[in-house]
Amino acid sequence: MGYVEELRAIVGHRPLLFVGAVVIIIDEKERILLQQRTSPHGVWGLPGGLMELGESTEQVAKREVHEETGLIVDHLKLLNIYSGEDQFVRAENGDEFYVVTTAYYTNDFYGEYHIDEEESIQVEFIHPGDLPERMIGSHRKIIEDFMSEKDK
């Protein structure tokens, strides 16, 4: 059982504060790796997840990308840190939390990507102009911010 599950066993569905990280992985065609998630079912997002005890945000980012996609990422560059009332989430099971998300980007990755069937329906490189309609809202904003910064 991980840190989040242990906390939930104690506090139930009450709002908690979590720290997480996501990574924008860019391929040679300028596409971004997205993951169609099992929860919320069918919604697309960036690879990433929540911090375990003792991890840095970079370690979270690298671990989650590897767990969810099989890829190993390196040379992460900080895009931004997202926090505040607009980062409130109510999960399908009723759990409530606010998340502080550190967003990184990189084009330095290797390995064969695969699907972790517990967390993903599919993983695919998608052009930023063709983002899926059903996306995690904060992840869409992160991609928009990345594209704005990239165009400067």
Q: Note the pLDDT of residue 32.
A: 98
pLDDT-based confidence at residue 135 (cuts at 50, 70, 90): very high
Distance of alpha carbon 24 from alpha carbon 87, whole angstroms? 18
What mean pLDDT comes out for the span 79-92?
Answer: 93
Residue 137 has pLDDT above 80, yes or no: yes
Q: Which among 105, 108, 118 is positioned nearest to 58, based on CA atoms?
A: 105
pLDDT of residue 145: 97
Kindly state the DSSP code that residue 55 receives in the 8-state scheme: -
Closest by CA to 21, choosing from 78, 94, 88, 72, is 78
Dump pLDDT digits (tens) for 15-72.
999 999 999 999 999 999 999 998 888 999 999 999 999 999 999 999 999 999 999 9
**Separation CA 13–CA 37 (nearest Å):** 21
Q: How far apart are CA 115 and CA 130, in angstroms?
A: 21
The DSSP call for residue 138 is: H
- For residue 150, pLDDT beyond 80: no
CA 65, distance to chain mean position in Å, is 8
Q: What top-level class would CATH report for the domain 3-150? A: alpha beta
**What's the DSSP call for residue 129?**
G
The two three-digit tokens of residue 12, written as one number = 């139930």
pLDDT band, residue 152 (cuts 50/70/90): low
C-alpha separations of 29 from 17, 33, 79, 113 in Å: 37, 11, 20, 16
